[in-house]
Amino acid sequence: MAVTIEAEAPEAKKVPVHHPVARIALIGNPNSGKTSLFNQLTGLNQKVGNFPGVTVDKKTGISQLTPQLKAQIIDLPGSYSLYPKSLDERVIIDLLYDPASTQRPDLVIVTADASNLKRNLLLFTQLADLRIPAVLALNMMDVAETEGVKIDIEVLQRDLGVPVIPMNARKGIGIAALKILVSQQLTATEVSFFEVPAKLRPMVDQIKERFRLSNDYLALHYAHQYKHLRFLSEEDKVWMAQLLEAQEFRSTIEQANETIARYVRINEVLLDVVRVEKAKEEEKFSNKLDQILTHRVYGYLIFMALLFMVFQAVFAWASYPMDLIDEGIAALNGLIQENFSGPLINLLTEGVIAGLGGVLIFIPQIAILFAFIAILEETGYMARVTFMMDKIMRKFGLNGKSVVPLISGVACAVPAVMSARTIENWKDRMITIFVTPLMSCSARIPVYTVLIALVVPEVYYLGFMNLQGIVLMGLYLLGFLSAIFSALLLKVLLKARERSYFIMEFPVYRMPRWKNVGLTIFEKSKTFVLEAGKIIVAVSIILWVLASYGPGDSFERAEERAVAEAEVKGLGEEQTDNLIASYQLESSYAGKFGQAIEPAIRPLGYDWKIGIALLTSFAAREVFVGTISMIYSIGEEENVSTIKDKLMSEKDADGNPFFTPARAFSLLIFYAFAMQCISTLAIVRRETKSWTWPLAQLVYMTGLAYVSAFAVFQLMS
């Protein structure tokens, strides 16, 4: 049989255990408890990788089936059928259909929601016809029971021809039985659920012959999906296109007919298996809750209140661990610098460790934000939010599902851009990815804080509304508005290649599974550290070199100049050091860069010093504050109010304060819009698989920033 897979020899060699490790794939409808089952089977023994060539997360884990036997479990994206509708789902066909792949599973565990068996069996019957050895994990037996759904397991097992395990993955019921079962040698079912129609036979036979397949249904899938099968060569695809043309194969109609035929067959099977005894109570409860939570007034009010609470939590709670990380990094650097010295030590402390600190500092905010998003998704509330927002978002060329990436963008654009994968439609997804970095991410906060403190007085209105807070909120609003209006612009510019649709299951409300929430937090933080982190650290090191070295003997001369000036002014040792650092930065490569771009940024009100900060904040925006401190010889470990005092005393050529409101607001606007984040560019490149999108973002956002900052400076001064 073409589809049953023997344990692969090379794979077995890699494993130090004496038993070959079986590959088991988990597959099932969305909301069928697949993730819970995966977590139950693997515990914390899981890792997230990528499926080759695509950007879909591949979750794998090791499960100890019996004391002697382990198995590798692969969690496949949730899907309703083997005809993929989204990018994520295509992974399934890549994994299952390539006869040469070493990644193919030996066995699939099909999860099915017992309270909703009919639709869940569609995918199972397709897998069965591929003759892949399978087990049916009949999940959510408790929900089925409370809904009065009685399932005759014996009869179902006989009719399907595979073992059926009733279970409740959330509570871990049935896991032991499932483990024992899959540790045994299992064969594919012999029951057939769908016969290839007679008129397609000649075509199927030719495909079987060319690709040496023995399974009719697999050959039929090749015909339906050859364009997306990554393992077929161009030559194969041309051959296939010609064959289908000659046979007048109409994929859409055949798929529809197949689905209808399968449902007819499933109905026959379920006639003897499922009995419904009473009406559903839970759904009524969900419906009642929906009347409030998706109400035209209360619905939006509740959502706004929730968002407000989430942001409060993100900023209030995260500040404690963030301070700890900040202090920890500073202490570590201090310790190293006290005991060692030399250029390599400087590279380590000011380049590598400072860069690492810049990465770690964002973890608390990312973790807290994703904790909330995971809880909202787990309870089923997020589906209601996309439902409520869809019509509004559509007007701007977005999609109800764009809400999650846009909200996530407030923490960090990197995981936010990745969360846009759930949007099936290409155009909606591209627009969402394009505009997400305009949302004010947490890296902009340090910049906002310093500049606002500089020019906005700390006045209170009505006793609690802080003017500085209002300005900060205004910047967030500005980010959001620029995002949706940019989306509108793109909606007009982009030609849609496929239709947008919004057909999705509306889950019933339920308690979040805390284990899943925990794993989401862990995975998102890890993604951020690995994806954004490595770029931030790398760029930090490069920038450190640019700021620490200058052409020729310019550094020595800068030092001499600073020492001479310090003597004249009678400065203390620390102030002298700060002055030296400032002069050295001026004569460094970064300083030269700042001076070179000064003519270009002068219309925005900036001088070469700010030019240096614009360059260094390309790694991550918050580096702005550190650079500014260094340039104005403030010294590294000063707090916001020291920086503020120092910046306020900075004078321009005529002796007036340099940081006028016009300059500060021009900078604020620049930082709100400019694409100063290499990590985001890298992730957009990865997610869109082209340089077009990140480059367009860079040009568009930086252009928008330049024009807006120019307008602000010219109007205000």
Partner 1 sequence: MRNRIQESQEQKSVRDLKIGESGEISSLNDPEMALKLLEMGCIPGAEVKLNSKAPFGDPVTIIVNDYTLSLRLDEAETILLK
User: Which one of 462, 503, 511, 568 is in contact with partner 1 (CB under 8 A)?
Assistant: 503
Residue among 186, 77, 165, 189 nearest 114 (CA): 165
- The answer to whether 32 touches 78, Cβ cutoff 8 Å, is yes
Please give the Cα distance from 467 to 461 (Å, whole number): 7
DSSP string, 181-193: HHTS--------S
Q: Judged by CB under 8 A, does residue 317 bind partner 1?
A: no
Q: Which C-beta is closer to partner 1: that of 300 or that of 549? A: 300
Q: Does 527 bind partner 1 (CB under 8 A)?
A: no
Among 1, 15, 176, 256, binds partner 1 (CB under 8 A): 256
Cβ-based nearer residue to partner 1, 102 or 287: 287
Cβ atoms within 10 Å, residue 60: 17
51-80 residues near partner 1, rule: CB under 8 A: 80
- Does 33 appear as a known binding residue? yes
Whole-number minimum distance, CB 464 to partner 1, in Å?
A: 31
Counting every residue written for the chain, the total comes to: 717
Q: State yes or no: 267 annotated in a binding site.
A: no
Residue 426: C-alpha distances to residues 4, 23, 429, 493 (Å):
35, 32, 5, 14
Minimal distance in Å, beta carbon 652 to partner 1? 53
Tokens at residue 469, please?
């807070």
CB 672 within 8 A of CB 475: yes
Burial tier of 686 (Cβ tally within 10 Å: 0-12, 13-18, 19+): middle
Selection from 553, 440, 430 nearest residue 495 by Cα: 430
Check residue 510 for interaction with partner 1 (CB under 8 A): no
* C-alpha dist (Å) from residue 470 to 538, 696, 709: 36, 32, 20
We find the least distance from the C-beta atom of residue 122 to partner 1, in angstroms, to be 6
Question: Per CB under 8 A, which region of 209-217, 294-302, 518-526, 558-566 contacts partner 1?
Answer: 294-302
295 near partner 1 (CB under 8 A): yes
> In angstroms, rounded to a whole number, what is the distance separating the alpha carbons of residues 687 and 411?
19
The contact mask relative to partner 1 for 383-412 (x = CB under 8 A, - = no) is x---xx-xxx-------x------------
Q: What is the footprint of partner 1 within residues 271-290 (CB under 8 A)?
A: 280, 283, 286-287, 290
Q: How far is the CB of 188 from partner 1 (least distance, A)?
A: 23
Nearest-angstrom CA–CA distance, 367 and 522: 7
Footprint of partner 1 on 430-469 (CB under 8 A): none
Q: d(Cα 187, Cα 27) in Å, to the nearest integer?
A: 17
Q: Which is nearer to partner 1, 81 or 482 (CB)?
A: 81
322 is in an annotated binding site: no
253, containing H or E segment: helix 251-271
Single out the residue of 19, 85, 158, 557 in contact with partner 1 (rule: CB under 8 A): 85
Looking from the CA of 635 toward its CB, the CA atoms found within 13 Å total 10
Locate tokens 């819970």: which residue?
36
Question: Under the criterion CB under 8 A, does residue 259 sit at the interface with partner 1?
Answer: yes
Nearer to partner 1, 403 or 705 (CB): 403
Cα(537)–Cα(535) distance, rounded to whole angstroms?
5
Q: With binding defined as CB under 8 A, does residue 260 bind partner 1?
A: yes
- The residues of the shown chain that bind partner 1, judged by CB under 8 A, are 80-81, 83, 85, 115-116, 118-119, 122, 252-253, 255-257, 259-260, 263, 280, 283, 286-287, 290-291, 294-296, 299-300, 383, 387-388, 390-392, 400, 499, 501-506, 508
> Annotated binding site for Mg(2+): which residue ranges?
39, 42-43
Q: Which residues are annotated as a binding site?
A: 28-35, 39, 42-43, 53-57, 75-78, 139-142
Q: Binding site for GTP: residue ranges?
A: 28-35, 53-57, 75-78, 139-142
